């Protein structure tokens, strides 16, 4: 009969499934579910698994792949290096995504972290199978639980030792519960809304500021909600004929023409971008004004500079509309 060392790797893999790597795979699946399943993505589980996926799990899988033997590192070193390598690997993955068409967004980041973690877990499993069973690293969960149970319920221990052990366990549970509470229920920071416009290429450049009358132009309008509640914003675009008097340091609006108005619902801590096309038929206008209203929109009797002042946020582009080519 073949010894475990002489069995094929496939047979060894079928007969021995490392619990820690299985937990890594389960954590990856749980993170994906907590991000995309409607009920779970609104619960505290999304924060718990999300934090673990960023700060610990990728680093643990990488450490498992680099050090498959039991004697390579002790438990404390593995845990510490798992945190350290996760903090190092995740930004590097984000930096790489920044130079791809997908960019640094939730979907590509989650997909990249998941693929990296699963790949490292597979490498760790394979490298462990190359070692003799006695030398493979495994998490001695049963032994740890048995030792803790024996420590708490040691018949030979004095009442004082038992009391101190119970107090220690309660302290650890309280510390973990406090940490989870701080993560799940973070303190509210400053309430604000991001409002920005980008050029048609998705960058803060190449804005349409000089174009023929009647031509179709494009900008990207972005709204980021950090108000700690879901908000339906109203966005207005106005054409202005405005002049500036350098002697009095004042501006005068001579004409206003509403160009567009639309609503945009943005959940808390999310950003929405809208591809917005427009055209200007007259050459009399020299300023394109964007107004953002949160939940209070003044009636149409409020116009001109009063309407701009009543907005929650405002942006503008100085434009030059050339006569249409004949």
Q: Is the pLDDT reported for residue 9 higher than 60?
A: no
| Strand 210-212 relative to strand 250-266, pairing | unpaired
Give residues with Cβ within 8 angstroms of 226, minimum separation 6. 189, 190, 191, 192, 193, 194, 268, 269
List phi, psi (to 5°) of 291: -115, 140
Answer yes or no: pTM beyond 0.75: no
Q: Could you read off the pLDDT of 205-227 as tens digits, one per residue?
A: 899 999 999 999 999 999 999 99
pLDDT at 14: 46
pLDDT of 231 over the 80 cut: yes
Burial of 55 from C-beta contacts in 10 A (0-12 / 13-18 / 19+): middle
Q: pLDDT-derived band of residue 79, with 50, 70 and 90 as boundaries?
A: confident
pLDDT tens track for 232-273: 999 999 999 999 888 888 889 999 999 999 999 999 889 999
Q: What is the mean pLDDT of residues 66-72?
A: 87
Maximum CA extent, the chain = 102
128/110 Cα distance (integer angstroms): 27
Q: How far apart are CA 221 and CA 274, in angstroms?
A: 5
């Amino acid at each position: 009969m073949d010894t475990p060392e002489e069995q094929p790797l496939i047979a060894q893999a079928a007969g021995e499934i490392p619990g820690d790597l299985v937990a890594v795979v389960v954590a990856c699946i749980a993170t994906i579910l907590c991000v995309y399943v409607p009920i779970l993505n609104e619960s505290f589980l999304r924060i718990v698994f999300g934090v673990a996926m960023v700060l610990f799990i990728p680093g643990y899988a990488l450490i498992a792949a680099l050090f498959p033997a039991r004697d390579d590192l002790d438990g404390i070193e593995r845990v510490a290096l798992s945190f350290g390598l996760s903090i190092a690997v995740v930004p590097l993955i984000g930096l790489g995504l920044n130079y791809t068409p997908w960019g640094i967004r939730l979907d590509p980041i989650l997909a990249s972290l998941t693929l990296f973690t699963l790949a490292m877990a597979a490498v760790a499993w394979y490298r462990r199978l190359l070692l003799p069973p006695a030398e493979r690293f495994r998490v001695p969960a049963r032994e740890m639980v048995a030792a803790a149970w024996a420590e708490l319920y040691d018949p030979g221990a004095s009442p004082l030792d038992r009391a101190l052990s119970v107090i220690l366990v309660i302290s650890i549970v309280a510390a973990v519960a406090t940490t989870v509470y701080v993560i799940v229920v973070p303190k509210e920071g400053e309430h604000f809304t991001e409002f920005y416009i980008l050029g048609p290429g998705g960058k803060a450049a190449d804005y349409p500021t000089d174009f023929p009358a009647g031509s179709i132009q494009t900008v990207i309008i972005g709204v980021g909600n950090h108000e700690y509640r879901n908000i339906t914003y109203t966005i207005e675009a106005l054409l202005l004929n405005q002049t500036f008097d350098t002697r009095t340091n004042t501006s005068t609006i001579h004409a206003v023409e509403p160009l567009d108005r639309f609503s945009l619902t943005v959940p808390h801590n999310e950003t929405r971008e809208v591809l917005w096309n427009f055209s200007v038929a007259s050459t009399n206008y020299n300023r394109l004004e964007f107004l953002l209203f949160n939940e209070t929109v003044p009636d149409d009797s409020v116009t001109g500079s009063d309407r701009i002042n009543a907005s929650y946020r405002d942006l503008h582009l100085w434009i030059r509309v050339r006569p249409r080519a004949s």
